[in-house]
């Protein structure tokens, strides 16, 4: 039987010592009526902390900027009613023994697209004042002007305000959503960043905006409060997109961000076992978290169908059930023992079974429930039955 003991060793994240290596990642359930998390939402997050997640990251919350996002069922980080709800989330997670950070989010031009949530066409909504580095809504279509320096500064300040408020509300740090094709990722991704100033051109220049956001947010955090950045190769508008084509490009892209001061890089993949690079690097099976740690020296978190036999998009697109995959867990431990990454984020499996880490610790794998699309609808009420 696989030895999962190493996942139950402590890890230092900023000023906190996590008792184990399990993270409950941001999972957008779209359950915040008017952008405000309910009592049930707070209990939902707390239940995952009680089930063994030492770090709980909330779903993406829109920062206080006119075009950060407008889905009324996703959380917002502005307005006193929303602040009261998010304060309650932090308090409940702390009471359950977990560390809690919000994921601060600005979507840029990406509001809807050919993705798992909508399946519809991309939509440009000029009435919202949408912004992006070069005005491209996807790699082929430019729909507006590139951001001015003033607009860039306004978005950076909105991230800083969100960080300041997170501290006031009692959160332990922040995560910046820099993945999946949203605004930070739009600067990182060369397919959408066509700028010729300090924010575009070379990989290092494409990382400059993210670095300035990190630096502004870091200034609002007390010493030791962790700042996490989420990155990904894939985007909601293109599952085959590449943030970087080689480890060398990845290193150059992330260098200014690392210099600005990140404590952890959260590396989003659809399938954690897939190598991040091919070509001359095809001889290694390092995933994105593995390569990111190798080229930056910064601790990383891996995610992507942990312990399951199909990814999130197959679940929702085809309505399939994801079963426990013991071979994948063996592979996860092989990579962890090798030092590829430091933390492991378990999303869908912990939605279906909040006690997933504790059951794994106790060797009770037969108790792990499979994940079904219906589990998303049931997640908020699961604590009532528990």
d(CA 12, CA 66): 36
3-class DSSP assignment, residue 263: coil
Q: Compute the radius of gyration of the chain from its Cα atoms.
A: 19
Alpha helices for 24-120 (secondary structure H): 39-50, 80-95
The string of DSSP codes covering 63-89 is -SSTTS---TTS-BS-SHHHHHHHHHH
How are beta strands 174-177 and 227-232 bridged, if at all?
parallel
CA 324 to chain centre: 23
Other CB atoms within 10 A of residue 33 CB: 12
3-class DSSP assignment, residue 345: strand
Residue 100 has phi, psi (to 5 degrees) of -135, 130
3-class DSSP assignment, residue 4: coil
Catalytic status, residue 62: no
d(CA 87, CA 268): 26
d(CA 102, CA 174): 5
d(CA 118, CA 103): 22
d(CA 329, CA 340): 15
Instruction: With beta carbons less than 8 A apart as the criterion, state whether 144 and 70 touch.
Output: no
d(CA 244, CA 233): 7
Q: What is the DSSP letter of 133?
A: S
Instruction: With beta carbons less than 8 A apart as the criterion, state whether 229 and 262 touch.
Output: yes
Residue 188 has phi, psi (to 5 degrees) of -70, -35
d(CA 178, CA 233): 11
Which listed residue (44, 159, 182, 199) is catalytic?
182
3-class DSSP assignment, residue 357: helix
Q: What is the DSSP letter of 201?
A: S
Catalytically active residues are 182
């Amino acid at each position: 039987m696989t030895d999962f003991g190493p996942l139950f060793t402590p890890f230092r994240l900023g000023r906190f010592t996590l008792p184990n290596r399990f993270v409950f990642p941001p999972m957008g359930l779209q359950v915040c009526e008017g952008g405000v998390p309910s009592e049930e939402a707070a209990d939902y997050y707390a239940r995952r902390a009680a089930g063994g997640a030492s770090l709980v990251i909330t779903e993406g919350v829109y920062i206080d900027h006119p075009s950060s996002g407008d889905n009324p069922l996703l959380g917002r980080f502005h307005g006193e009613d929303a602040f009261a709800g998010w304060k309650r989330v932090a308090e409940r997670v702390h009471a359950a023994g977990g560390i809690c950070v919000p994921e601060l989010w600005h979507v840029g031009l990406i509001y809807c697209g050919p993705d798992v949530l909508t399946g519809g066409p991309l939509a440009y909504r000029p009435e919202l004042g949408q912004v992006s580095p070069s005005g491209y809504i996807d790699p082929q279509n430019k729909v507006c002007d590139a951001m001015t320096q003033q607009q860039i500064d306004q978005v950076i300040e909105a991230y800083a305000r969100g960080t300041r408020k997170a501290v006031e509300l009692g959160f332990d740090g922040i995560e910046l959503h820099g993945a999946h094709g949203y605004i930070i990722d739009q600067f990182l991704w060369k397919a959408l960043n066509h700028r010729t100033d300090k924010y575009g051109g070379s990989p290092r220049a494409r990382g400059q905006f993210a670095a300035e956001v990190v630096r502004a947010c870091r200034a609002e955090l007390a010493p030791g409060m962790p700042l996490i950045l989420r990155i990904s190769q894939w985007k909601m508008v293109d599952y085959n997109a590449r943030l970087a084509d080689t480890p060398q490009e990845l290193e150059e892209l992330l260098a200014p961000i690392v210099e600005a001061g990140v404590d952890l890089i959260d590396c989003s993949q659809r399938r954690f076992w897939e190598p991040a690079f091919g070509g001359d690097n095809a001889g290694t099976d390092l995933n994105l978290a593995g390569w990111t740690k190798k080229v930056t020296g910064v601790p990383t978190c891996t995610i992507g169908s942990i312990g399951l036999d199909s990814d999130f998009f197959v679940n929702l697109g085809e309505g399939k059930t994801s079963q426990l995959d013991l071979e994948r867990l063996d592979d996860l431990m092989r990579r962890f023992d090798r030092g590829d990454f430091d933390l492991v984020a378990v999303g869908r499996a912990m939605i279906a079974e909040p006690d997933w880490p504790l059951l794994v610790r106790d060797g009770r794998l037969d108790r792990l429930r499979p994940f079904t699309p219906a589990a998303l609808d049931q997640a908020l009420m699961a604590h009532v039955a528990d």
